[in-house]
């Protein structure tokens, strides 16, 4: 069953390459998450490590703030 309100991003070769090449990305895993979210047209990233996404150009929320806002 697929949710109509939730999108789970996948990671592909292009996302990996972008994460490796972006010098602003200090944590490879965060880079993968970010570029996978962009590739999947996600509007936000939800993580408990919000500060790790200082380079993000899309909104990043922790779970509590996301639920409070939306």
Mind listing the pLDDT tens digit for each residue in 10-64? 899 999 999 999 999 999 999 999 999 999 998 999 999 999 999 999 999 999 9
pLDDT given for residue 2 in this prediction? 60
Domain locations in the chain as residue ranges: 13-69
Cβ-based neighbour number of residue 51 at 10 Å: 8
pLDDT given for residue 33 in this prediction? 95
Separation between Cα atoms, residue 49 and residue 5, nearest integer Å: 22
Helix axes 13-21, 28-39, angle to 10 degrees: 130
């Amino acid at each position: 069953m697929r949710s109509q309100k939730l999108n789970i991003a996948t990671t592909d070769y292009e996302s990996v390459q972008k994460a490796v090449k972006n010098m602003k990305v200090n944590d490879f895993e965060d880079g993968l998450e970010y570029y996978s979210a962009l590739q999947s047209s996600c509007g936000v990233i939800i993580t408990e490590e919000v500060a790790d996404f200082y380079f993000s150009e899309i909104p990043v929320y922790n779970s509590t703030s996301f639920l409070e806002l939306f």
